[in-house]
Amino acid sequence: MTKRNRLYLFSAMLLVCALASQATCAQTTYRIKESKDIDMKLSGTSTLHKWTMDAKTFTGQGEFELGKNETLQGLHSMTFALNVKDLKSGDKGLDKNAYKALKATEFKDILYKLSSATVGQETNGKYLVKTKGDLTIAGVTHVVDMNVYFIINKDGTISCSGSEKLKMTDYQVKPPSFMLGAMKTGDDITLDFRIIYSQ
């Protein structure tokens, strides 16, 4: 076999390997699925009691890389948008003050955009993915590091869940008060989410 033929053969083998890799690790775009099982919450404390605002409606998508046997190999993008006024506490007074504090008229959405992700090994059916991304609240954006857990479901959907502790003042949000200042909320809040993605 001549040197030129060996070069052609080597190039062909590289091309076959590249095509095989693409076939076994395809990147697919998934969108958030409307479901009673999805949930996003903001919760915190006050001088009187704990509080929680809950939303069941939000949008977004993710680009996942799946390998053999539907294993998660990579997460290349992830976004979500939550309309602030979809957050409900069951207390209209609390909601009204929270919307005002979060500047919902001017900045209607809480937004997230992934910038990088590292997928860990599967443990008990879950993948721990260490993520970094931009979280925007009340028009202010900060980079946040979150541990997010992913599950590849039997029906082909992908579930993810996570929790992140934040401070309102980091996003230039003044913790709201109620009842002429008798009830004041704390600066610390927690964002919890459960999301289901489908093709």
For the stretch 52-110, pLDDT in tens is 999 999 999 999 999 988 899 999 999 999 999 999 999 888 899 899 999 999 999 99
- In this prediction, residue 48 has a pLDDT band, given cuts at 50, 70 and 90, of confident
The domain defined by 25-198 carries CATH number 3.30.360.10: no
Domain boundaries, the chain: 25-198
- The whole-model pTM stands at 0.81
> E strands within 19-173?
26-32, 39-46, 51-55, 59-66, 72-83, 109-123, 126-137, 140-152, 158-167
For the stretch 101-139, pLDDT in tens is 999 999 999 999 999 999 998 999 999 999 999 999 999
Question: Can you say how many angstroms the Cα of residue 143 is from the centroid of all Cα atoms in its chain?
Answer: 13
